[in-house]
Amino acid sequence: MKNLFTKLTGLSLVAALFLTSCEKEGDKIMLTQTAAPQLQASTTTPVLSRANADKDAVTYTWTPTNYGFAAGPNYTLEFDTKGNNFKSARTISVGTATTRTLTVSELNSIYSDLKRPAGEVSELEVRLQSMLLNNAGLMMSNLTGIKATPYESRELPQDVWAIIGDATTNGWGTETPMTYDFDRRVWTITLPLTAAYYKFRANNDWGLNLGALSDGDATKTAGPLKEGGSNIKISEAGTYTVTLNYSVKPATYTAVKQ
């Protein structure tokens, strides 16, 4: 009986200690913050490239949260664009571990999910969330930053297009590569063109090329194309944005003077 009384008394004291160290905030129970986790990064300027996609980019480590009693919180890393206050955070659940390494591919995907443009330097803010069961004991770590240039992770179409002709500065001997717009699924380029002719050519080879439907259509600045078609004429010299849509059949183009 004495042992039973001792155990019940001990449980009552633990419960009282837990309740007196808690504060309710909305639907979450906030425990008195004894020591929030301290987040550190192995680097804040990782280099991202498709060639190194499987290699380590950054390792995050942190001190365990101290709730004032033995606890096993779950941790979540949060990433968001600098200055966005984590309104659109990309999260990674870590469980009870106190370290997480991201590969180049994983970090690049975070940039992509946050709609950071490929090929441009972008800064993100990173923090760590600590929480017990049932949303109790929410704590946030210090902020750390990361600056990197994400790469385009989506694969280019099989056929890579360029324009070629004496309307370009390279003439008929060397093609001028176009850039693929993944969102619009078109090839595009802005460049100076002279009053002369050009065509579209794929894969740096004449085996696949596109031109106007006929000589009569050659002076148009937009329209359908056909394989091996007529040379397209630029009637007035200037800077043009030329767009090729090869995802439709027949393929189409526009040449808009800037």
Segments in the chain below pLDDT 50: 1-26, 29, 31, 33
Report domain extents, the chain: 25-148, 161-257
What value does the CA radius of gyration of the chain take, rounded to a whole number of Å?
30
C-alpha distances out from residue 7 to 3, 12, 13, 21, 185, Å:
6, 9, 10, 21, 70
Of 248, 253, 250, residue with least CA distance to 198: 253
Q: What is the reported pLDDT for 154?
A: 87
Q: What is the reported pLDDT for 72?
A: 85
Please write the tens of the pLDDT for every residue from 101-133. Answer: 999 999 999 999 999 999 999 999 999 999 998
Topology at the third CATH level for domain 161-257: Immunoglobulin-like (2.60.40)
Q: Do the domains 25-148 and 161-257 sit in the same CATH topology, yes or no? A: yes
Q: What is the reported pLDDT for 15?
A: 38
Please write the tens of the pLDDT for every residue from 168-190. Answer: 999 999 999 999 999 899 999 99
For domain 25-148, the CATH class is mainly beta
Q: What is the reported pLDDT for 30?
A: 52
